């Protein structure tokens, strides 16, 4: 191990301060720090530091995403073979899904990290780890047949306009992964909605169609799946959002490690269940009559709530604010589903909308602390006068 370290130090020499490739140090550091936590010691402030860092935090989110990703890969193949009516094994299905999904992941990481590296070198800071999560999220929320170049363009749009334009990691208003999806959704609608995009090869093979449950409901038709299929995820949809079961496993990882906000998730569940229940009472059409508990397990709602709404940068930052933010995401998700036939799923727009309102929510939460302070000041002045 020491030999490897020595070799690395030797390799890094031309990138050191004052050497000729100093400018490119962030690029090489990004790789080095993945092998080793650096030897940096505390300079100012507390002399000891917690073991947690951003890399560890982000990797925890990636780990939480993996169950849903693996199921999504399997489900891509499962939908394909079962629609074709061919006999297949688990590994056939997994291989078909992997052949479709892994290139998307590779393209997303290559384009996104490429831009991140360029900006890190240009701005002279280290590469932030946030894109490890964003880069995995983007393919996970796309339809399986979307062309790779569209993935690349969406990623570039999300990173450049959604993030770097605001000043980089930590400054963005909107969730970058959802920005990518929203871009693709509005730029290439025929690849992002309808009843021919949700199952692998549906556009090429006539035998395959496959509509999402929300699409079926919006068209006023009966749903052919039972609750277990909806929960376990053996239904058509974007790659990794179908399985509520594995999303719940991811949510458990996020909540147990404290990396994801349970307040946002709980708020979202309460908001969506409440809204779904209200619509059940109204029951004017198929979507409204769709049982509220099934509203929670179909579409991208669970995935969005667990992995996108909890993005700490674009979410509300105060504890009370997180509750309010989560509840409104739940309410708006179901409301957009039911009222807007153009967008059968509402969670993407609901989260983006609440991203925009998150600073306002925080402002009013913090205002109450400021008011307490001002009130104290006014009574204190009276006392001394």
Partner 1 sequence: MSNDIKIRKGLDIKLKGEAEKLVSDAPRSKTFAIKPTDFHGVTPKVIVKEGESVKAGDIIFYSKYSEKVKFASPVSGTLKEVKRGAKRKILEVIIEADSADTYKEFGKKDVGAMSAEEVKQHLLESGCWPFIKQRPYDIVANPDDAPKAIFISALATAPLAADVEFLLGKRKDEFQLGIDAISKLTSGKTHLSVDKSSASFFNEVKGVQLHKVSGPHPAGNVGVQIHHIDPVNSGERVWVINPEDVAIIGSLFKTGKLDLTRTVAVGGTEAPKAQYFRFKIGSNVKDVVGQLPANVRIISGDVLTGDKVANAGYVGYYHNTITLIPEGNDYRMFGWLPFKDNNIPSMSRTSFSWLFPNKRYKVNTNLNGEERALVVTGEMEKVMPMDIYPMQLLKECMASNIEKMENLGIYEVAPEDFALVDYVNTSKLEAQAIIREALDVMIKEVG
Site residues for partner 1 per CB under 8 A: 1, 5, 33-57, 59-60, 63, 126, 128-130, 168-171, 256-259, 261, 312-313, 315, 317-319, 322, 362, 366, 369-370, 372-374, 376-377, 380-381, 384
Let me know: does 242 contact 75? Beta carbons within 8 Å.
Answer: yes
Least CB distance from residue 42 to partner 1, whole Å?
5
Backbone dihedral region of 88: left (phi > 0), alpha (psi from -120 to 50 degrees) or beta? beta
* Min CB(57)–partner 1 separation in Å: 6
Q: Is the dihedral of CA 158, 164, 170, 171 positive or negative?
A: negative
Task: Give the residue with the Cβ less far from partner 1, 319 or 356.
Answer: 319
Nearer to partner 1, 37 or 356 (CB): 37
Least distance to partner 1, CB of residue 271, Å:
20
Q: Is 52 helix (H, G, I), strand (E, B) or coil?
A: coil
Shortest CB 123 distance to partner 1, Å: 11
| Rounded distance between C-alpha atoms, residue 231 and residue 322, angstroms | 26
Alpha helices in 188-261 (DSSP H): 189-192, 213-218, 227-232, 244-257
Smallest gap, in angstroms, from Cβ of residue 17 to partner 1? Answer: 16
* Calpha distance 335→323 (Å, rounded): 18
Q: Residue 208 to residues 53, 195, 198: CA-CA distances in angstroms?
A: 46, 10, 10
Report CA 344 to chain centroid distance, whole Å: 19
- Cα dihedral 25/29/31/32 (nearest 10): 130
Backbone Cα Rg of the chain: 23
Instruction: Select 36 or 99, whichever has its Cβ closest to partner 1.
Output: 36
Contact of 180 with 157, CB cutoff 8 Å: yes
Judge residue 4's burial from the number of C-beta atoms within 10 Å of its C-beta, 0-12 exposed, 13-18 middle, 19 or more buried: exposed
Which residue, 109 or 279, is less far from partner 1 as judged by CB?
109
Query: With respect to partner 1, which residue has the nearer C-beta, 103 or 170?
Result: 170
* Burial tier of 149 (Cβ tally within 10 Å: 0-12, 13-18, 19+): exposed
Torsion angle (degrees, nearest 10) of CA 32, 35, 39, 40: 60
CB of 48: closest distance to partner 1 in angstroms?
5
Alpha-carbon gap, residue 45 to 99, rounded angstroms: 50
Write down the least CB distance from residue 84 to partner 1, Å.
Answer: 40
Task: Please say which residue, 5 or 13, places its beta carbon nearer to partner 1.
Answer: 5
Q: How far is the CB of 361 from partner 1 (least distance, A)?
A: 13
Q: How far is the CB of 211 from partner 1 (least distance, A)?
A: 38
Q: Which residue has the tokens 């925080």?
A: 362
- Between residues 130 and 276, which has the closer beta carbon with respect to partner 1? 130
> What span, in angstroms and rounded, lies between the C-alpha atoms of 348 and 260?
18
Nearer to partner 1, 227 or 368 (CB): 368
CB nearer to partner 1: pick between 33 and 203? 33
């Amino acid at each position: 191990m020491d030999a490897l370290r020595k070799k690395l130090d030797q390799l890094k020499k031309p990138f050191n301060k004052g050497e000729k490739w100093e400018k490119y140090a962030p690029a090489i550091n990004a790789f080095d720090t993945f092998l080793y936590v650096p030897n940096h010691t505390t300079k100012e402030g507390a002399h000891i530091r917690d073991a947690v860092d951003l890399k560890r935090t982000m990797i925890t989110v990636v780990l939480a995403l993996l169950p849903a990703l693996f199921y999504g890969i399997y489900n891509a193949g499962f939908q394909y073979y079962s629609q074709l009516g061919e006999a297949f094994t688990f590994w056939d299905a997994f291989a078909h899904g992997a052949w479709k999904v892994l290139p998307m992941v590779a393209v997303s990481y290559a384009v996104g990290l490429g831009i991140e590296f360029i900006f890190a070198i240009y701005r002279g800071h280290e590469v932030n780890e946030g894109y490890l999560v964003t880069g995995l999220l983007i393919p996970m929320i796309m339809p399986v047949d979307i062309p790779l170049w569209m993935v690349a363009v969406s990623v570039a749009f999300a990173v450049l306009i959604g993030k770097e334009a605001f000043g980089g990691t930590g400054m963005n208003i909107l969730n970058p992964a959802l920005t990518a999806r929203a871009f693709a959704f509005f730029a290439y609608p025929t690849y992002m909605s309808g009843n021919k995009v949700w199952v692998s090869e549906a556009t090429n093979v006539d035998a395959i169609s496959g509509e999402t449950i929300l699409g079926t409901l919006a068209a006023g038709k009966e749903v052919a799946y039972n609750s277990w299929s909806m929960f376990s995820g053996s239904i058509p949809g974007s790659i990794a959002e179908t399985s509520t079961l594995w999303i719940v496993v991811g949510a458990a990882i996020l909540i147990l490690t404290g990396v994801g906000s349970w307040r946002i998730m709980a708020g979202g569940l309460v908001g969506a269940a409440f809204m779904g229940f209200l619509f059940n009472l109204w029951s004017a059409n198929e979507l409204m009559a769709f049982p509220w508990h099934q509203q929670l397990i179909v579409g991208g709602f669970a995935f969005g709530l667990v992995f996108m709404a909890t993005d700490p940068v674009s979410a509300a930052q105060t504890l009370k604010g997180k509750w309010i933010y989560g509840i409104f995401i739940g309410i708006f998700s179901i409301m957009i589903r039911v009222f807007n036939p153009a967008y059968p799923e509402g969670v993407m727009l609901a989260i983006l909308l609440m991203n925009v309102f998150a600073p306002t929510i925080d402002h009013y939460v913090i205002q109450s602390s400021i008011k307490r302070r001002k009130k104290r000041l006014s009574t204190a002045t009276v006392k001394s006068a």
